[in-house]
Chain A
Amino acid sequence: MFNLNIKENKVFALPVLILFIVFLVSVVFLKPKLSEILEIRRDIKSEKNNLATLTQKLATLDGLAQVELNEKAFLTLNALPIEKDVAKNLFILKQLVQDSGLGLSNITIGNVGDISTASAQTKIEKGEVLPALVFSISVSGQMAEIGDFISRVNLTLPIMRINQIYLSNKKGDIPEITLDINSYFLPLPKTLSKVEDLVAVISPQEEKIFEKLTELKAFDLQEGFYYSGGQKDNPFVY
């Protein structure tokens, strides 16, 4: 028969007690702490990645020369206004016609109904990359002068392109020509990037575009010639 001799088994009390303590501490303290450690490690890894991104972003932002950046932004704003700027385009087209020695007969704004603030939706015509304000301009003059006008349009800011040419050259008459001109614009980006997102980097290809823009002529609109009212304030102050 099994006989439990407490006196004899007393020697096992200490190991059993220690085992019990080990078990108890493992369940109550060690296991939750190990789980917590794994979780904290995951969090720290993710936070360190986040920190690396922020450090890189900060370094990029610190490296950007604000004055140069503003100048570039101003030039691109001249190339692509944030909204349809009828007054400015009319002034420029009129000026270009005069400079080419042509006679101006008529200017029609094609999509006048769509003139709106930057917040309004803009439509991009089929085959186009950018939204455009369409002008139809009738001029009279010699072919060489018309050619000169077209060259000037292509070399002027904002970016304009000729889509169609209607010729009316009766015998003996001074040629009269009607040109459909697209003047491009681009609304402001709808959202800015999140703090965690990296700064948009200008690629070498895009730098070349900037160089191209510096070669184009920007009109210096003097007071009285150009008025742009009733529009939202430009958030980019130069």
Chain B
Amino acid sequence: MAEQEIDFLSEQQSKTGKKAKIVHFLKVGSIIVLILYCLLTAAVFSYWFYLNTQGRKTQQEISIKKQKIESLKDVESVQTFLKQRLAALDKFFTNQAKTDLPEILDFFENIKDEARLKQVNLTKEGEITISGEADNALVLTDFLKKLEEEDQSKKLFSTITLVSSDKQKTGNYLFSILLEVKGKQ
């Protein structure tokens, strides 16, 4: 019968080999981690340095631009002044009614006959209030009729309203008429 042997050394050698592998893995792994970490730290530092340089460069550019703008302050002032005035005038002209006052006065002059106009009030909205005096009801009626029926009146006014008509002790009539000008804004 063949003699049987137990090899205790082989198992110990195997254990020592595994341990050596782990130790080797830990050593190499640690060094790799350290190298990678160093690289990461270097990258972070480089990026921080790059950003700082960029920041300084941008600040320098801003400073140069500000200096140039300061040197053009006069131009900017005139432009601001111009803008302020043109904006105000734009608002003013937009707000103004397109009333051809000379034509309207000329029209009143042509139709008034015996009636006497005393006051013409203009509003920004394009309304005109006229007030005046007529010797009698006939004169007033004639004036109102002309004011309503004349072709020019239809071109000039969209609505005509007799606001008041008061008979005086003398028999004269004081009247007030509201006219809405056509094409008002």
Contact = CB atoms under 8 A, between A and B. Distances in A.
Nearest to A64: B75
Given A44-B54, A69-B78, A79 B85 contact: yes
A146 B55 contact: no
Interface stretch (A110-118, A147-155, A217-225): A147-155
Interface stretch (A84-92, A133-141, A195-203): A195-203
B106 A147 contact: yes
Contacts of A210: 86
Q: Is the interface of B mostly helix, strand, loop or mixed?
A: helix
A61 B65 contact: no
Chain A interface residue bracket vs B: 35 or more
Contact of A130 (B77, B92, B105): B92
Contacts of A203: 90
A65 B75 CA distance: 9
B124 interface: yes
Contact of B86 (A12, A44, A62, A209): A209
A169 B122 contact: no
A94 interface: no
Interface stretch (B27-35, B149-157, B165-173, B174-182): B27-35
A11 interface: yes
A14 B70 CA distance: 62
B68 to A, nearest CB: 6
Contact of A162 (B48, B75, B101): B101
A61 B70 CA distance: 11
Contacts of A170: 116
B92 A189 contact: no
A202 B90 CA distance: 11
Contacts of A130: 88, 92
Interface in B76-100: 76-93, 95-96
Contacts of A3: none
Nearest to B124: A127
Contacts of B123: 127
Contacts of B58: 44, 47-48, 51
B162 interface: no
Interface residues on B, range: 35 or more
A162 B123 CA distance: 10
Interface in A10-37: 11-12, 14-15, 18, 21-22, 25, 29-30, 33-34, 36-37
A164 B26 contact: no
B96 A161 contact: yes
Interface string A56-67: 011001101010
Given A33-B48, A51-B58, 7 more contacts: A15-B26, A77-B85, A130-B92, A164-B121, A168-B118, A169-B116, A207-B86
Interface of A: 11-12, 14-15, 18, 21-22, 25, 29-30, 33-34, 36-37, 40-41, 43-44, 47-48, 50-51, 54-55, 57-58, 61-62, 64, 66, 69-70, 72-73, 76-77, 79-80, 127-130, 143-144, 146-148, 150-151, 154, 159, 161-170, 184, 186, 188-189, 192-193, 195, 199-203, 205-207, 209-210, 212-213, 235-236
Interface of B: 23, 26-27, 29-31, 33-34, 37, 40-41, 44-45, 47-48, 51-52, 54-55, 58-59, 61-62, 65-66, 68-70, 72-93, 95-96, 101-103, 105-106, 109, 116-124, 132
8 contacts: A30-B41, A58-B65, A61-B76, A69-B75, A147-B103, A189-B81, A199-B80, A209-B93
